[in-house]
C-alpha cells in the first residue's frame, strides 16, 4: 500500500509538473506572438491587371503575382489534391495532427541515424502553414515550431476550416512567380482553375514543398514523379478512383505560356502612363497589392500602326542627317565571334542584329555574326550614311564602303531582300497620340523610339512649343469677333516693341516673302506668321489666352504677342485633345487612357463616361428602343466657328503645308507646326472621327536642320498612320452644323467665284457671306492691327467661347 501511495503521489506530482510545464511553455512562447485575429479580415496582396479596350491583358503590377479565388469557386479536384498532399486530416484535427507528428518523429529518427545531414521531414498541417506564412518566418528551429503550434490552436478557435483553407490556397508560393492556385494555373498552364485536368491539379498540389525542385522546365522527371505521388495519395484518401490516377499519370506535364494573342505587346508607354495615373489616384499599395481591374481605352490595332509610323518617321529623318559611326571596334582574327558577343547592344536596337565588319571592297562590305554566319552590306545600303557633321551638315557623297565602315567595326544591321542594310538608333525622338474626338478616349500613344531606351513619355511629359499648330485657336478667336474665312488680312512685316531695353520684334514668314492683302483662310493654309500676328493684335492676347485655357492647351498663357505663333509650351496629349474639340463641334473633352477601374470585389471606383442613364442597368431586352443618353459635354465653342476652322484646316491639307496628305483621297484636315530654329516640329490633324497629333524633336532641344519643318518631318508620319488606320473604313465627310452657309468662292481672293476661277466651298455664318459685288476689305490701323470691314456686317449672333 505504501508503494502504491508513493507511485500515486509520484504520478500526481508528474501530472502537476507536466501541467505546470505546459502552462509555462504556453506563457513563455505565447508572449509577444503576432495578433492572429487579423486573419479574420485578411485580404492578401492581389495583382492589378491592365486590359486593353478589347479586353486583352496589357500589363500586371504586383509585389506578389496572386489572383484571389474564393474557396467556393475553387474546383473540388484542386481542393482535394492539396488536402491529399498536405493534410488529409485537415477537417478533423484541432490545428495539429498528433498522429502525423508522431509518424514524422519516428521517420526522422530512422532517417537521421542513416544520414545526419538530411533535412528532417515535416508534419505541418495546413493550419500550421497558414500560421507560418502569415504570422511567422521560415526559420528552422524548435522555438518557431512551438510558436507555430500555439498559433495554430488559436487560429482554429477564431476561423472556420473553410476560411483557413481559403487563405492557404490563395497565399501559398507555387513558383513561377505565382502565389495562390489561381495565379499558378495561369502561369503554368494558361488556364483558369475550372479548366485544369486532374493531372494538372495534382501537379499544382505537388509544388508547396519545393516549387523550384519540381519545375518541369528544369526537372521534368522529378516534377512528374511528385505529381504521381499526389495522385496516389488522392486514391488512398478515396478522392479519385485508381483508373483515374492511371489516366492522369499518362499525361506529360506541359507548361503553356500565355498565348500572345491574349496579351497586348508593345504598348509600354501607354501602360506606364496608366500605372502613373493609378498610383497618383489610389496610391502604390492599391496598385501593387489591391487587385484592381483596369479597362483602358487602348486600341491594339491602332497602337501597332502608331508605333510603326513613328519609328519609320524617326528613321527617315535620322538617315537624312547621316551616319554617326560604329558602335565599337573589335580585333578581328581567331575568336572574333566571342569578342563580338561581349559588345553590349545599344538600347533601342529592337530586332536589329549586331555584326562585325570583316572586310570592305568597292561593292560593299562583308559582315559576320555571333554564330559565325556572314552576310553582305551592298554599297546601295550605305549611300545614306554620309558623315554626320555639326549643325546637321553632311559629309561628301558615299562612293566606297570604307567611307562608312572599316574592318573591325561593330554595327547594327537588318536583313532586307537577301542582303543586309546598315542601321543606327535615331538620336531624335518624338510622340504620336490618336484619340476619339467625341469622347477623349486615347486609342494609341507612342511616347518615343523605344521604351527600353527611355521611359520618358514625350506624349505626356515633354513640354514643347507647338509653333504654328497653335494658330487655329488665334483664328477662331477672330472668327468669333466677326472675321470670316474671306476677310482680307495684310500679309506684310509688322514690328512690335518688347519693352524697355529690349529690341523690337519683327516676325517673318518661314518663306521670307509677303503676300500682301489675302483672305484670312490663306493665313492658315500657308501658315503666314505676319498675318497671324496682325490678327492676334486685333483680337488681343488676353482673348487668345482664354481660348488656350478653354481648349486645355495652356492654363495660363503668358501675355506676350509671340504666344500667338505658338511659343507657349504644351504636351502632345493636350494639344491633340484641343484639335479634337475643333472637329467635334466645340464640345469639351477630357483626354483619358482609362475607361473604368474596379476593385478586387468588382466595385467600380472610376468611370470616365459619367453620363446618366436611368434605363441602362438590369434591363431585359424585349426589342425596345435603346435608351437615349444625354450629351453632357460642355459647349466651349460655337459649332459654326468650329466648322469654319475645320474647313480652313481642310484647305491646309488640300492646298497648303499639309498638301501631300491629299494623296490619301479622304476628308482630312490639319496644321503643321515648327518652332523657332526648328527645335520642335508638329502636325496636328483629324478625320471626322479620329484626331492624331505628331511631334518630333530632340530631347535636349536643338535645331533639326535646314529645311526641316513639320511638313517634312511630321506630315509623313501622320500620313502613314492615317493611311493604315482608316484603310477599309468609309470616307465619312466632315459634319456640317445647322446654320452654316456654303458658298462658292475663290480661295485666293475671298470673292465669289467667277468663271475660270479656282473654286472652293467656303463656310460662312448666315449674313456674313460675300455677295456678287462685295469683297471683304480691311484697313491697317497704323499699329499693325487689322480692322475687318466687311461689306455686310457680321451677324449679331456671332459665336464665341460658351
Asked if residue 407 lies in contact with residue 390, where contact means CB atoms within 8 angstroms, the answer is no
Those residues whose C-beta lies under 8 Å from the C-beta of residue 443, and which sit 6 or more positions away, are 53, 297, 298, 299, 302, 303, 434, 435, 436, 690
Closest-CA residue to 310 (of 720, 726, 691, 727): 720
CA distance 399 to 407: 17
Asked if residue 603 lies in contact with residue 462, where contact means CB atoms within 8 angstroms, the answer is no
Q: How far is CA 545 from the centre of its chain?
A: 31
Three cell numbers, residue 734:
466632315
CA distance 475 to 466: 15
| Alpha-helical segments (H) within 703-743 | 710-713, 715-725
Closest-CA residue to 46 (of 280, 381, 291, 268): 291
CA distance 347 to 439: 36
Asked if residue 641 lies in contact with residue 700, where contact means CB atoms within 8 angstroms, the answer is no
Three cell numbers, residue 366:
562583308
**Cβ atoms within 10 A of the Cβ of 461, count?**
16
Catalytic residue among 293, 429, 450, 468: 468
Is 468 labeled as catalytic in the residue annotation? Answer: yes
Q: How many CA atoms does the CB half-sphere of 244 hold within 13 Å?
A: 18
Phi, psi of 632 (to 5 degrees): -100, 10
**Cβ atoms within 10 A of the Cβ of 138, count?**
7
CA distance 141 to 553: 64
| Alpha carbon distances (Å) from 532 to 475, 626, 746 | 8, 47, 21
Is 86 labeled as catalytic in the residue annotation? Answer: yes
Phi, psi of 16 (to 5 degrees): -60, -45
CA distance 214 to 334: 42
Name the CA dihedral angle for 593, 599, 604, 608, rounded to a multiple of 10 degrees. -10
Those residues whose C-beta lies under 8 Å from the C-beta of residue 646, and which sit 6 or more positions away, are 582, 583, 669, 734
**Most distant pair of Cα atoms in the chain: their distance:** 142
Catalytic residue among 86, 156, 166, 637: 86
Asked if residue 332 lies in contact with residue 358, where contact means CB atoms within 8 angstroms, the answer is yes
| Active site residues per annotation | 86, 468
Amino acid at each position: 500500500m505504501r508503494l502504491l501511495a508513493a507511485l500515486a503521489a509520484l504520478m500526481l506530482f508528474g501530472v502537476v509538473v507536466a501541467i505546470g510545464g505546459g502552462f509555462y511553455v504556453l506563457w513563455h512562447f505565447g508572449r509577444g506572438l503576432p495578433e492572429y485575429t487579423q486573419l479574420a479580415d485578411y485580404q492578401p496582396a492581389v495583382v492589378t491587371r491592365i486590359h486593353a479596350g478589347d479586353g486583352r491583358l496589357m500589363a500586371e503590377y504586383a509585389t506578389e503575382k496572386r489572383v484571389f479565388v474564393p474557396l467556393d469557386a475553387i474546383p473540388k479536384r484542386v481542393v482535394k489534391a492539396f488536402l491529399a498532399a498536405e493534410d488529409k486530416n485537415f477537417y478533423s484535427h484541432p490545428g495539429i495532427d498528433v498522429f502525423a507528428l508522431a509518424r514524422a518523429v519516428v521517420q526522422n529518427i530512422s532517417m537521421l541515424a542513416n544520414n545526419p545531414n538530411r533535412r528532417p521531414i515535416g508534419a505541418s498541417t495546413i493550419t500550421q502553414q497558414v500560421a507560418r506564412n502569415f504570422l511567422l518566418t521560415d526559420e528552422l528551429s524548435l522555438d518557431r515550431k512551438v510558436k507555430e503550434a500555439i498559433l495554430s490552436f488559436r487560429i482554429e478557435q477564431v476561423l472556420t476550416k473553410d476560411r483557413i483553407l481559403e487563405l492557404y490556397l490563395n497565399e501559398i508560393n507555387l513558383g513561377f512567380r505565382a502565389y495562390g492556385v489561381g495565379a499558378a494555373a495561369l502561369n503554368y498552364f494558361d488556364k483558369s482553375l475550372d479548366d485544369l485536368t486532374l493531372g494538372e491539379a495534382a501537379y499544382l498540389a505537388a509544388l508547396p514543398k519545393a516549387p523550384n525542385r519540381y519545375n518541369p522546365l528544369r526537372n521534368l522527371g522529378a516534377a512528374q514523379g511528385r505529381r504521381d505521388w499526389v495522385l496516389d495519395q488522392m486514391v488512398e484518401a478515396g478522392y479519385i478512383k485508381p483508373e483515374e490516377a492511371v489516366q492522369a499519370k499518362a499525361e506529360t506535364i506541359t507548361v503553356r505560356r500565355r498565348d500572345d494573342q491574349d496579351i497586348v505587346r508593345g504598348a509600354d508607354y501607354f501602360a506606364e502612363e496608366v500605372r502613373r495615373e493609378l498610383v497618383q489616384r489610389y496610391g502604390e499599395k492599391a496598385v501593387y497589392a489591391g487587385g484592381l481591374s483596369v479597362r483602358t481605352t487602348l486600341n491594339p490595332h491602332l497602337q501597332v500602326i502608331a508605333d510603326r509610323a513613328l519609328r519609320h518617321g524617326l528613321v527617315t529623318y535620322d538617315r537624312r542627317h547621316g551616319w554617326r559611326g560604329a558602335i565599337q571596334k573589335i580585333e578581328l582574327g581567331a575568336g572574333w565571334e566571342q569578342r563580338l558577343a561581349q559588345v553590349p547592344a545599344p538600347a533601342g536596337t529592337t530586332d536589329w542584329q549586331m555584326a562585325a565588319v570583316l572586310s570592305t571592297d568597292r561593292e560593299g562590305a562583308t559582315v559576320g555574326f555571333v554564330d559565325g554566319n556572314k552576310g553582305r552590306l551592298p554599297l546601295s545600303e550605305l549611300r545614306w550614311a554620309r558623315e554626320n557633321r555639326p549643325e546637321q551638315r553632311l559629309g561628301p557623297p558615299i562612293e566606297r564602303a570604307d567611307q562608312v565602315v572599316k574592318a573591325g567595326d561593330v554595327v547594327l544591321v537588318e536583313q532586307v531582300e537577301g542582303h543586309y542594310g546598315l542601321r543606327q538608333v535615331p538620336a531624335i525622338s518624338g510622340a504620336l497620340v490618336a484619340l476619339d474626338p467625341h469622347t477623349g478616349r486615347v486609342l494609341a500613344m507612342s511616347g518615343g523610339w523605344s521604351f527600353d531606351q527611355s521611359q520618358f513619355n514625350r506624349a505626356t511629359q515633354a513640354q514643347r512649343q507647338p509653333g504654328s499648330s497653335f494658330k487655329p485657336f488665334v483664328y477662331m478667336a477672330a472668327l468669333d469677333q466677326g472675321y470670316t474665312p474671306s476677310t482680307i488680312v495684310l500679309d506684310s512685316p509688322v514690328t512690335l516693341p518688347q519693352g524697355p531695353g529690349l529690341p523690337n520684334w519683327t516676325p517673318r514668314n518661314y518663306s521670307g516673302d509677303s503676300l500682301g492683302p489675302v483672305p484670312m483662310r490663306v493665313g492658315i493654309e500657308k501658315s503666314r506668321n505676319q498675318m497671324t500676328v496682325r490678327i492676334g493684335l486685333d483680337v488681343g492676347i488676353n482673348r487668345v489666352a482664354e481660348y488656350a485655357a478653354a481648349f486645355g492647351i495652356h492654363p495660363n498663357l503668358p501675355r506676350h504677342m509671340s504666344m500667338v505663333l505658338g511659343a507657349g509650351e504644351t504636351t502632345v496629349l493636350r494639344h491633340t485633345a484641343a484639335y479634337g474639340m475643333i472637329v467635334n463641334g466645340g464640345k469639351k473633352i477630357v483626354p483619358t487612357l482609362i475607361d473604368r477601374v474596379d476593385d478586387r470585389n468588382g466595385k467600380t471606383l472610376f468611370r470616365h463616361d459619367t453620363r446618366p442613364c436611368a434605363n441602362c442597368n438590369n434591363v431585359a431586352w424585349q426589342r425596345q428602343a435603346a435608351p437615349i443618353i444625354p450629351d453632357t459635354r460642355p459647349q466651349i465653342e460655337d459649332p459654326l466657328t468650329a466648322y469654319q476652322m475645320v474647313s480652313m484646316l481642310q484647305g491646309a491639307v488640300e492646298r497648303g503645308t499639309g498638301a501631300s496628305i491629299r494623296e490619301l483621297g479622304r476628308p482630312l484636315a490639319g496644321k503643321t507646326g515648327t518652332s523657332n530654329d526648328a527645335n520642335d516640329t508638329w502636325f496636328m490633324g483629324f478625320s471626322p472621327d479620329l484626331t492624331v497629333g505628331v511631334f518630333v524633336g530632340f530631347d535636349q532641344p536643338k535645331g533639326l536642320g535646314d529645311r526641316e519643318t513639320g511638313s517634312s518631318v511630321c506630315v509623313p508620319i501622320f500620313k502613314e498612320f492615317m493611311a493604315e488606320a482608316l484603310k477599309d473604313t468609309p470616307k465619312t465627310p466632315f459634319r456640317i452644323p445647322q446654320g452654316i452657309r456654303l458658298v462658292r468662292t475663290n480661295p485666293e481672293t475671298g470673292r465669289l467665284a467667277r468663271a475660270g476661277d479656282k473654286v472652293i466651298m467656303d463656310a460662312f455664318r448666315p449674313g456674313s457671306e460675300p455677295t456678287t459685288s462685295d469683297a471683304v476689305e480691311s484697313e491697317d490701323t497704323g499699329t499693325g492691327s487689322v480692322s475687318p470691314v466687311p461689306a455686310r456686317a457680321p451677324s449679331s449672333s456671332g459665336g464665341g467661347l460658351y
